[in-house]
Structure 1
Amino acid sequence: MTAVDTVVGSIPEEQHRRELRKAVIASTVGTTIEWYDFLLYSVVTPLVFGKLFFPHSEPLIGVLEAFSIYFVGFVGRPIGAFIFGHFGDRIGRKAALIATLLITGLSTFAVGFVPGYASIGIWGAVILTVVRMIQGIGVGGEWGGSVLFAMEWARTNKHRGFITSWPQFGGPAGLFLANMAVLIGSAIAGDSFFDWGWRIPFWLSIIMVAIGLYIRLGILETPVFRRIVAEERVERVPAL
């Protein structure tokens, strides 16, 4: 029996099942929302961003330039994993996951307000790059943190693999929702999709963040981390 088993085993069975279910839902829903935010850019880029932010480039080159901004998000992911892995070990898994949800969701919402080249020139692409980096940092902290949160609520080793598989469902689920949101935005805006309709999927993120925040505020900190705090074994600088 591991230390995790011992800590979780001290919780009454009925309470554990209830909190485990809430932890899995919070991890899975939150991860789905954050991957929606992260992958939505890749869905909209070939349709809009090349022409919107790089209108003077050849069509293919413009799309590639827009996808170079997409790459910036991947640069931010290991940075986010380092930052929120550190703070997750310092102040708790729950607080870190709430922070990553807000960072990613609000930055995605902000994308919907970024002006194109016609309004502010190359600064539109610069702003988009900064926002994309922030997105990547949020997703980087979310991915490992959500899996760890679910794992620390598992009662035994034989259940742990199954439980931690649920947050991984967020990737394909987020991509599916991103495509559906673009279809809805296209249906609503029609011929005006390039002008303003593409912004709708990004604005929808704020609703999804509100749902995810409501769910995550209702979960308890993991029993493993609470035991670490009670025993005063929290590392001062976990990242090192």
Structure 2
Amino acid sequence: MDSTLISTRPDEGTLSLSRARRAALGSFAGAVVDWYDFLLYGITAALVFNREFFPQVSPAMGTLAAFATFGVGFLFRPLGGVIFGHFGDRLGRKRMLMLTVWMMGIATALIGILPSFSTIGWWAPILLVTLRVIQGFAVGGEWGGAALLSVESAPKNKKAFYSSGVQVGYGVGLLLSTGLVSLISMMTTDEQFLSWGWRIPFLFSIVLVLGALWVRNGMEESAEFEQQQHYQAAAKKRIPVIEALLRHPGAFLKIIALRLCELLTMYIVTAFALNYSTQNMGLPRELFLNIGLLVGGLSCLTIPCFAWLADRFGRRRVYITGALIGTLSAFPFFMA
């Protein structure tokens, strides 16, 4: 059985370069949408949501409540990853990735037309949390599925580079979300921004969704997934996350810990720092939004470079280097 499985799996020579490029482009396009929507929520939570959806409590408690709704999305990301991963293994990565983009786009657009607390009372924060749950669920399925499709489709010696588009999508999403909020903030008064200006970036998500769906429609399933269908029936079926945990418990838990470290650093920079600088240090929001633009632009350049280094020198060395840089930069960041 083992020799049959090994012989039927596609080797590097059977992997189509054009298929790999389409997979990388489609994964990147969807990642832009999902990260744009996910990060946009964090930016507006820091600037708007405490006053629009939690005005009945003190400013400090309103800020905590706004960031609590932001955190809800993280709670549902693992669930989205498990469920979409399960059906992705059964029905195909492409189908699930099309669905995650739809879910994220619809939830984000609905936030853009959601009435505030002054209009519908406590229904406003309840609906906001519900839509945030959908966002978290969708991005959980998006990231894993897009990265997996890119890796499966990529040439053997360039898997990190081809799959880096998923993370470059984060940088572009940060650029778009921060840039659009910054532009609207400069073109409106504070009253206009709080009333309707912040809603425009959420509605703009519809345009990004349509573009991502068009790009993803040209993707194909990876050759590895297609070949897998031939022997899947003979294998004992388990829920993928349980199978991974049973077979590789140590690696499974290490990956979770590594991702938590990365995400903590990322959202301290993009969400917490924005709120702290405007609310406690009195800095203009446009200044820190422009800093966010710089961060997003730099990440679009550095992520492919580090991915290339990972293909050349190994993932472990590159990750440790990045972790050390992030750890050391925390000291001047909080001393500023």
Q: Same fold (TM over 0.5)?
A: yes
Inter-partner Cα distance in structure 2 for 1:184 and 1:205:
16
Aligned to 1:166: 165
Inter-partner Cα distance in structure 2 for 1:220 and 1:4:
19
Matches within 5 A, 1:12-23: 16-23=16-23
TM-score normalised over the length of structure 2: 0.66
CA contact 2:10–2:224 (8 Å) conserved in 1: no
Aligned to 1:185: 184
Q: How many Å apart are 1:172 and its aligned residue?
A: 2.5
Inter-partner Cα distance in structure 2 for 1:77 and 1:236:
24
Helix, strand or coil: the match of 1:57? coil
Structure 1 counterpart of 2:100, one-letter code:
T
Q: How many Å apart are 1:236 and its aligned residue?
A: 5.0
Aligned to 1:238: 239
CA contact 2:20–2:150 (8 Å) conserved in 1: yes
Inter-partner Cα distance in structure 1 for 2:201 and 2:232:
45
Unaligned runs of 5+ in 2: 1-5, 243-336
In structure 2, do the counterparts of structure 1 residues 123 and 229 end up closer, same or farther at CA, with 3 Å as the change threshold?
same
Structure 2 counterpart of 1:165, one-letter code:
S
Residues 12-70 of structure 1 deviation map (CA, whole Å, 9 limit, x = unaligned): xxxx2222111111111211210110110111112211011111222222111111100
Structure 1 counterpart of 2:14, one-letter code:
S
Inter-partner Cα distance in structure 2 for 1:184 and 1:206:
18
Aligned to 1:44: 44
Structure 2 counterpart of 1:85, one-letter code:
G
Inter-partner Cα distance in structure 1 for 2:34 and 2:123:
26
Matches within 5 A, 1:92-103: 92-103=92-103
CA contact 1:7–1:223 (8 Å) conserved in 2: no
| 1:135 aligned onto 2:135 | yes
Matches within 5 A, 1:1-240: 6-7=10-11, 9-10=13-14, 16-156=16-156, 158-190=157-189, 191-233=191-233, 236-239=237-240, 240=242
Helix, strand or coil: the match of 1:220? coil
TM-score normalised over the length of structure 1: 0.90
Inter-partner Cα distance in structure 1 for 2:236 and 2:29:
29
Inter-partner Cα distance in structure 2 for 1:199 and 1:185:
10
In structure 2, do the counterparts of structure 1 residues 237 and 58 end up closer, same or farther at CA, with 3 Å as the change threshold?
same
CA contact 2:77–2:137 (8 Å) conserved in 1: yes
Inter-partner Cα distance in structure 2 for 1:238 and 1:45:
35
Higher RCO structure (Cα 8 Å, ≥6 apart): 1
Inter-partner Cα distance in structure 2 for 1:37 and 1:199:
12
Residues 112-166 of structure 1 deviation map (CA, whole Å, 9 limit, x = unaligned): 011111001111000000000000000000111111000111122x211222222
Inter-partner Cα distance in structure 2 for 1:152 and 1:9:
13
CA contact 1:86–1:237 (8 Å) conserved in 2: no
Unaligned runs of 5+ in 1: none
Q: How many Å apart are 1:4 and its aligned residue?
A: 9.2
CA contact 2:9–2:224 (8 Å) conserved in 1: no
Structure 1 counterpart of 2:239, one-letter code:
P
Structure 2 counterpart of 1:93, one-letter code:
R
Aligned to 2:326: none
Q: How many Å apart are 1:101 and its aligned residue?
A: 0.9
CA contact 1:90–1:236 (8 Å) conserved in 2: no
RMSD of the alignment, in Å?
A: 2.0
Helix, strand or coil: the match of 1:219? coil
Structure 1 counterpart of 2:121, one-letter code:
G
Identity of aligned pairs, percent? 38
CA contact 1:153–1:223 (8 Å) conserved in 2: yes
Inter-partner Cα distance in structure 2 for 1:50 and 1:129:
13
In structure 2, do the counterparts of structure 1 residues 25 and 199 end up closer, same or farther at CA, with 3 Å as the change threshold?
same
The aligned length equals 234
Inter-partner Cα distance in structure 2 for 1:28 and 1:4:
29
Inter-partner Cα distance in structure 2 for 1:4 and 1:71:
44
Helix, strand or coil: the match of 1:6? coil
Inter-partner Cα distance in structure 2 for 1:78 and 1:101:
17
CA contact 1:113–1:199 (8 Å) conserved in 2: yes
